[in-house]
Chain A
Amino acid sequence: MPTLSEEELIRESGFVFRGTVQKLKAATMTRVQVSDKTIVVRVDEVLQAPETLEDLTGTDITVELSGRQKVKAGDEAIFYTNGWLFGEGIAVRAVGVRPVKKATRAMLGMSGVAPPKNLRQQKMEERVSSADLVVTGRVTDVRLPADEGGGPMTAGRSTKRSAKAGAAAPGAAKPVRRRPITEHDPQWREAVVEVADVEKGSQKKKVVIRFPSSNDVRWYRAPKFEPGQQGVFILHKTDAAAKPQKPRLRATVTPAEAETSEAYTCLAPEDFQPIQKSSEIKTLVGGANKPDEE
C-alpha cells in the first residue's frame, strides 16, 4: 500500500490528534480484543474532530494500528484515525501514524484551531476540490423542475416550469410521470441563482441548482434554498451513468433521472457557504483553478 501524504491522511481521517503511546498490546475497553495491533494512547491535543469528540484531551483511548505501523511506549505522534467502537471508552483505527516532528503541516495548520472547525474545513476543501462549478450569487427563484410531476409529497402538482415550489397549479394539462411514493422522496426543487462571480468552472450569468427540499433522514442535511439567499454555491454535476438500467414501475421517474445531466446539484451540507466565506473559498480554489472563459 503506498504511503499517504499528510494531506491524504487528513482527508481520510475523521479524528486526528497528537498523542503519547502509553501501552503496547493493550486496550482501554474490555470489549476490544487485545492484539499486537492494539495500543493505548493518551490524547494530548485534538486537532481534527467532530463536535462530539472535541474534548478528549487527557483521555486514554485504544488505537488499532494498521499495516506496518510501529510505535513504542512513550512515542509522541500524530494519529490519523477513524472510529471503531464507542462504549465505556473509545477505540479508533489508525489510517496513519506520523512522528510529531514530521507532521509539520498538521501541527502548524491545525494546532490551536477548534477541532470541529478543522474537520469542517477539510470537508469543504474536499467539496471545492471535486466541484464542477463554484459561484457566488443570489437565489432569485425556487421552482419545481420541468420534468418533476409534482409527486404526492411535493407541494405542487404542475408540470409548468414557472410553477413556484409550494404553489399548486390545478388543471395541469396532462398526467405526468410520477415518482414512487416513498418517505424518502427527495422532493426536488430548482433554485435559480444569479451569478455575481465564478470561482471555479465556466463563466455563467445564471445557474440552475437542483436540491432536495425533503427533510427526510436521507436528505435533511442538504442545503435548502429560498429566494433572496446569498452565498457561495459549491456545485456538482450529476453522474449520468448513475441512471438505473433495469425496468421499473411505469409512470415513475427516479431521483437519478430527476438529476438531469444539465443540472447542478447541492447535496452536501458544505455545498452552500455564507457570503462571508467567499474569500476563503477563492483561496481554496486557488490559482490552478481559475474560471474558464466560455
Chain B
Amino acid sequence: MPAKRASKKSSGGGASKSARKAAPSSRAAKKSAGGKSAAKKTSGKKPGARKGVAGKKGAAKRTAAPKVLAPGDIMIVNMIPRSLSNETHQDSEPHLTVNPNNPSQIVGSAFTRNPFGGPQAPIYVSNDGGRTWSLEFVVPSQSITGDITVGFSGSSQLYTGILRLPGSLRQSILRTNTPSGPTPMNVLVDRANVDQPFVQATTFGSRDRVYVGNNDFTATGGRTATIEQSTDAARPTPTFTKVRIEARGTGSARQDGPQVRPVCHRDGTVYAVFYGWRAFNEGNNEVTADVVVVRDDLGGTGATQFKSLRDAGDGLAGKRVAQGVRFIWADTLGQQRMGGDVSIAADPRNSGTVYVAWGDVRPGTGYTLHVRRSTDRGVTWSPSDLRTIAKATNPSLAINSQGVVGLLYQQVTGTGAGARWVTQLDRSLDGVNWSNLVLARVPAASPLPQFQPYIGDYDHLVSVGRDFLGIFSANNTPDRNNFPNGVTYQRNHDFTTRRLLANNNTTQVGVSIDPFFFKVSG
C-alpha cells in the first residue's frame, strides 16, 4: 500500500524512495523546481499528458499547455432557483462538493438565508451535473450558518462543517445520505469556540474518513490550528478527535489563523495547509505568519497524526513553505474584508505532487497570491512562485486526472466605479505555462455589502476526472458582457435589458451577490 510504505520511509523528514518512484517528475522538479526546462521534462514523462492535452480527436502533440477549450466546454450557472427570483440577499462564501459515486449529484453552500426564517438553513443541490439547482433546508441552524463547507465521501455520505446559529463560534459537524431531505442532517459534533470548519471527506477501504480543518480556541498554548478527524465517520455515532497541527509557538498572536485546509488523497495521504501565526501587531492589525504544510501518510490512523513531514530547519512537524509572510487583518479589497488565504491540492495520480497557494501583502502590489509546488511529498518546494497574482483573493487549487492544476481566484482590476471583480480559472500542466479563463468580470463597487465577507472568505474548485467544477460568488447582474464565456440563469432575468426580474417575471429586482456554479470540461 503506497501510503504505508511512504509513511515508514519518510517519517524522518526526507522523501521516501517509494515516493520518488511514484512521482516520475520529482527529480526534474527538484533540480529546478518551477523552472521551465524541468517542467517540460516533467510534462513529457507524464503518462496521461498526450491524451489530456492533445484533445479528444487525438491531435497528438506533446505540449505543456492544458486542453484548448471550446465554447461548449464551459458551463456557468447562476444557482438561485427560479422560485426565489425575488431574493436580494448576499449569498457569499460558497463551497462545493461532488458525489464521487454519482458525479451528477452536486451540493453547494453559501451564506444563503432560509427565506422563511425557520430552524434549518439551506444547501444547494443539483442532480443533473449542475445544470439546475434547488435549495433544500436540511442544515440544522437558525435560517443561516456562520460558516459552512461541504464534502461527499466515497460512500455517498454528505458531511458538512458549520458555525451554527443560535450561537457564536459554535461548530457543528453534520452528516446525511439524503441531501435533498426532507430529514435534517444528523449532528455528529456540536461544540463551542471554534472558527472556520473546513470539511474534506473520503472513503478508504470501507470507512469514511472526515477531516475538518478549524481554528480551535479551546486549544492550550495558543496553538489553535486543528484537524478534527474521524477515521470511521459513517458509523452511527462516530468519534471525532482533535489533532493539534501547530508545532511552533504563536508568539504575540497567541493563536493561528482561521484558515486550516486539509486535502485527502485516495492513497490515504492527507495534507493540510495553514497560517502559523507568529506575531500580531495590535497597533495596525498586522499578522506575521508562516505558511505551514503538514502531512499524514496514514490518514490520521497511526500512533501520531500529521507528523509525517518535518521541516529541516527546526526539525519540527510541518514544513514552512514560506516564513514571515505579512498581511493586515480585516483590511479591505474591493469591498471585501480580508483575513488571509491558503489552499492546497494533491495530484490524484501521485500524492507526492502537491501545490499550495497563499496570500500576503507585498510592497508595490499590495495583497498578492502566490502558488508553489512540491514533487517530493512536501519536503522541498519551488524556490520561487509558479504564479503570482496581485490584488486577488480566494485561491482554490485542484488537480485533474491528467495532472493539470487548476487555480480559481478572484481579482480586483481597475479602480473606482470602473473596478471589477474578475473571477478566473488558470490551468497548467507543468505549473509554469498557464492558460487563463475569465469566468466573470463584474462591478466591484456594487452592490454595497450587506455584511462581511462581501464575496466570501473562500470559493472552491474540485476536479472530477478531467473536468474542473467550482463555485464562486459575484454580482448577479444578467449582463452577458460580465460573463465572456457565457452564463445561464435559473432566476427570472432579461439579458437584453440587463435586469433581474421578480417571481412575477415583470417587476425589477435589485442586484445582489449570488453563487455561480461552473464546469470546465477537460
Contact = CB atoms under 8 A, between A and B. Distances in A.
Contact of B117 (A50, A178, A244): A50
Contact of B82 (A87, A183, A248): A87
A51 B86 contact: yes
A204 interface: no
Chain A CB count within 10 A is highest, among B147, B182, B490, for: B182
B301 interface: no
A90 B83 contact: yes
Given A88-B82, A157-B282, A217-B111, A183 B457 contact: yes
A183 B453 contact: yes
Interface in A89-103: 89-90, 93
Interface in B147-173: 147, 163, 165, 168-169
Contacts of A53: 86, 115-116, 503
A152 B217 contact: no
B339 A183 contact: yes
> Which secondary structure characterizes the binding site on chain A?
loop
Nearest to A245: B192
B: contact size bracket: 35 or more
A183 B457 CA distance: 10
A254 B84 CA distance: 37
Interface in A113-145: 119, 123
B258 interface: yes
B258 A182 contact: yes
A215 interface: yes
Given A55-B503, A90-B83, A183 B258 contact: yes
7 contacts: A52-B87, A82-B137, A87-B134, A152-B330, A183-B195, A251-B254, A256-B192
B133 interface: yes
B218 A50 contact: no
B135 A14 contact: no
Contacts of B163: 184, 218
A52 B115 contact: yes
Contact of B132 (A87, A90, A246): A87
A50 B330 contact: no
A182 B340 CA distance: 12
A181 interface: yes
Given A53-B86, A87-B132, A217-B111, A255 B182 contact: no
Nearest to A31: B134
Contacts of A216: 451-452
Given A64-B182, A85-B134, A183-B452, A15 B116 contact: yes
A54 B384 CA distance: 56
A87 B132 CA distance: 8
Nearest to A51: B86
Interface string B125-156: 00100001111110000001011000000000
